Protein backbone atom coordinates (compact mmCIF):
# COMPACT_ATOMS: atom_id res chain seq x y z
CA UNK A 1 0.00 0.00 0.00
CA UNK A 2 1.24 3.48 -0.88
CA UNK A 3 0.08 6.92 0.18
CA UNK A 4 -1.36 7.50 -3.31
CA UNK A 5 -3.39 4.29 -3.09
CA UNK A 6 -4.72 5.39 0.30
CA UNK A 7 -5.69 8.80 -1.10
CA UNK A 8 -7.43 6.96 -3.92
CA UNK A 9 -9.33 4.68 -1.54
CA UNK A 10 -10.45 7.59 0.62
CA UNK A 11 -11.61 9.53 -2.43
CA UNK A 12 -14.37 6.97 -3.03
CA UNK A 13 -15.79 7.50 0.46
CA UNK A 14 -18.54 10.07 0.96
CA UNK A 15 -19.66 9.86 4.56
CA UNK A 16 -17.69 10.31 7.75
CA UNK A 17 -19.13 7.02 8.96
CA UNK A 18 -17.50 5.11 6.12
CA UNK A 19 -14.30 7.11 6.46
CA UNK A 20 -14.10 6.16 10.13
CA UNK A 21 -14.92 2.54 9.31
CA UNK A 22 -12.02 2.46 6.88
CA UNK A 23 -9.75 4.05 9.51
CA UNK A 24 -10.84 1.36 11.97
CA UNK A 25 -10.09 -1.31 9.34
CA UNK A 26 -6.61 0.15 8.82
CA UNK A 27 -6.19 0.32 12.57
CA UNK A 28 -7.16 -3.32 12.96
CA UNK A 29 -4.54 -4.33 10.40
CA UNK A 30 -1.75 -2.46 12.20
CA UNK A 31 0.41 -4.90 14.20
CA UNK A 32 0.37 -4.25 17.94
CA UNK A 33 3.54 -3.18 19.66
CA UNK A 34 4.66 -5.61 22.36
CA UNK A 35 4.13 -4.18 25.85
CA UNK A 36 7.86 -3.85 26.49
CA UNK A 37 8.03 -1.26 23.71
CA UNK A 38 5.16 0.77 25.13
CA UNK A 39 7.43 2.75 27.38
CA UNK A 40 7.70 6.42 28.19
CA UNK A 41 10.76 6.55 25.94
CA UNK A 42 8.62 5.90 22.86
CA UNK A 43 5.50 7.64 24.02
CA UNK A 44 4.40 10.62 21.95
CA UNK A 45 3.06 13.39 24.14
CA UNK A 46 -0.69 13.76 23.60
CA UNK A 47 -3.56 14.43 25.89
CA UNK A 48 -6.41 12.19 24.87
CA UNK A 49 -4.89 8.84 23.92
CA UNK A 50 -1.59 7.09 24.33
CA UNK A 51 0.60 6.94 21.23
CA UNK A 52 3.95 5.21 20.82
CA UNK A 53 6.36 5.55 17.89
CA UNK A 54 9.50 3.39 17.78
CA UNK A 55 12.19 4.27 15.22
CA UNK A 56 14.53 1.70 13.71
CA UNK A 57 17.78 2.89 12.20
CA UNK A 58 19.31 0.56 9.61
CA UNK A 59 22.40 1.67 7.69
CA UNK A 60 21.13 4.60 5.67
CA UNK A 61 17.39 3.98 6.11
CA UNK A 62 15.00 4.52 8.95
CA UNK A 63 11.64 2.86 9.58
CA UNK A 64 8.99 3.06 12.26
CA UNK A 65 6.58 1.03 14.32
CA UNK A 66 3.64 2.61 16.10
CA UNK A 67 0.67 1.88 18.31
CA UNK A 68 -2.10 3.53 20.30
CA UNK A 69 -4.81 2.50 22.73
CA UNK A 70 -7.46 4.19 20.57
CA UNK A 71 -8.54 2.39 17.40
CA UNK A 72 -9.13 5.43 15.20
CA UNK A 73 -5.73 6.74 16.23
CA UNK A 74 -4.28 3.34 15.25
CA UNK A 75 -5.81 3.91 11.83
CA UNK A 76 -4.13 7.30 11.63
CA UNK A 77 -0.83 5.75 12.69
CA UNK A 78 -1.20 3.11 9.96
CA UNK A 79 -1.58 5.92 7.41
CA UNK A 80 1.37 7.85 8.82
CA UNK A 81 3.55 4.74 8.65
CA UNK A 82 2.54 4.20 5.02
CA UNK A 83 3.38 7.82 4.23
CA UNK A 84 6.88 7.46 5.69
CA UNK A 85 7.56 3.89 4.53
CA UNK A 86 10.79 3.20 2.61
CA UNK A 87 11.85 6.80 2.48
CA UNK A 88 15.33 8.18 3.03
CA UNK A 89 15.60 10.57 5.98
CA UNK A 90 15.76 13.72 3.84
CA UNK A 91 12.55 12.76 2.05
CA UNK A 92 10.84 12.15 5.39
CA UNK A 93 11.72 15.68 6.37
CA UNK A 94 10.29 17.06 3.14
CA UNK A 95 6.91 15.29 3.25
CA UNK A 96 3.92 17.59 3.70
CA UNK A 97 1.73 15.35 5.84
CA UNK A 98 -1.03 17.92 6.21
CA UNK A 99 -1.48 18.07 2.47
CA UNK A 100 -1.80 14.28 2.25
CA UNK A 101 -4.30 14.15 5.12
CA UNK A 102 -6.22 16.93 3.47
CA UNK A 103 -6.52 14.86 0.30
CA UNK A 104 -7.85 11.96 2.36
CA UNK A 105 -10.51 14.14 3.93
CA UNK A 106 -8.87 13.67 7.32
CA UNK A 107 -7.58 17.17 7.83
CA UNK A 108 -9.45 17.59 11.12
CA UNK A 109 -7.30 14.86 12.59
CA UNK A 110 -4.10 16.75 12.28
CA UNK A 111 -5.23 20.09 13.60
CA UNK A 112 -3.33 20.94 16.79
CA UNK A 113 -6.70 21.22 18.53
CA UNK A 114 -7.12 17.46 18.55
CA UNK A 115 -4.30 17.22 21.02
CA UNK A 116 -4.27 13.56 20.19
CA UNK A 117 -0.63 13.27 19.45
CA UNK A 118 -1.15 13.19 15.69
CA UNK A 119 0.91 16.26 14.92
CA UNK A 120 3.40 15.38 17.64
CA UNK A 121 3.67 11.93 16.08
CA UNK A 122 4.73 13.45 12.76
CA UNK A 123 7.06 15.87 14.55
CA UNK A 124 8.66 12.97 16.36
CA UNK A 125 9.17 10.97 13.17
CA UNK A 126 10.77 14.01 11.52
CA UNK A 127 12.91 14.52 14.61
CA UNK A 128 14.25 10.96 14.35
CA UNK A 129 14.84 11.44 10.63
CA UNK A 130 16.73 14.68 11.22
CA UNK A 131 18.77 12.98 13.91
CA UNK A 132 19.76 10.14 11.58
CA UNK A 133 21.28 12.55 9.06
CA UNK A 134 22.89 14.68 11.73
CA UNK A 135 20.66 17.72 11.30
Partner 1 sequence: MFDAYEIRKDFPSLGQLIDGKRNTYLDTAASAQKPLTVLKRIEKAYKDEYANVHRGSYRLSELATENYESSREIVAKFIHATNKNEVIFTRNATEGINLVAATFGWQNLKPGDEVLLSVAEHHANLVTWQQWCLRTGATLKYFDLDEDGSFNWENFANALNSKTKIVAVTAMSNVLGTIFPVKKICQAAHAIGAKVLIDACQFAVHKKIDVTEFDCDFLAFSGHKLYGPTGIGVLYAKYDLLKDMPPYQFGGDMIEHVYYDKTSFALPPAKFEAGTPAIVQAIGLGEALRYLMQFDFEDIEKYEQALIDYTTQILAQIPELKIVGTAQNKGGVFSFAVKNIHPQDLAFVLGKEGVAVRTGHFCAEPIVRKLGYTSLTRASLGIYSVKEDIDVFVKALYKAKEFFR
Active site residues: 47
E strands in 31-114: 43-44, 51-58, 61-68
User: In terms of CB distance, is 74 or 124 closer to partner 1?
Assistant: 74
CA atoms of 31 and 43, how far apart (whole Å): 17
β-strands 61-68, 51-58: how paired?
antiparallel
Q: Does 21 bind partner 1 (CB under 8 A)?
A: yes
Q: Does 42 bind partner 1 (CB under 8 A)?
A: no
Q: Show Cβ contacts of residue 121 under 8 Å, excluding neighbours closer than 6 positions.
A: 44, 46, 51, 53, 66, 76, 77, 80
The least CB distance from residue 77 to partner 1, in Å, is 13
Nearest CA-CA partner of 51 in 8, 65, 61 = 65
Q: Does 82 bind partner 1 (CB under 8 A)?
A: no
The least CB distance from residue 47 to partner 1, in Å, is 5
Q: Does 20 bind partner 1 (CB under 8 A)?
A: yes
The least CB distance from residue 48 to partner 1, in Å, is 4
Point out which span in 64-72, 84-92, 95-103, 127-135 binds partner 1 (CB under 8 A). Answer: 64-72
Give the bridge partners for 92, in sequence order: none
Q: Which member of 95, 104, 116, 126 binds partner 1 (CB under 8 A)?
A: 116
Amino acid sequence: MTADELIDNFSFIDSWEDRYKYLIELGNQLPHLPDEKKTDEWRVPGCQSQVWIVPHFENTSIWFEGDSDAIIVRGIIAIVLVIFKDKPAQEILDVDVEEIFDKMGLREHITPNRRSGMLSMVDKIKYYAAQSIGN
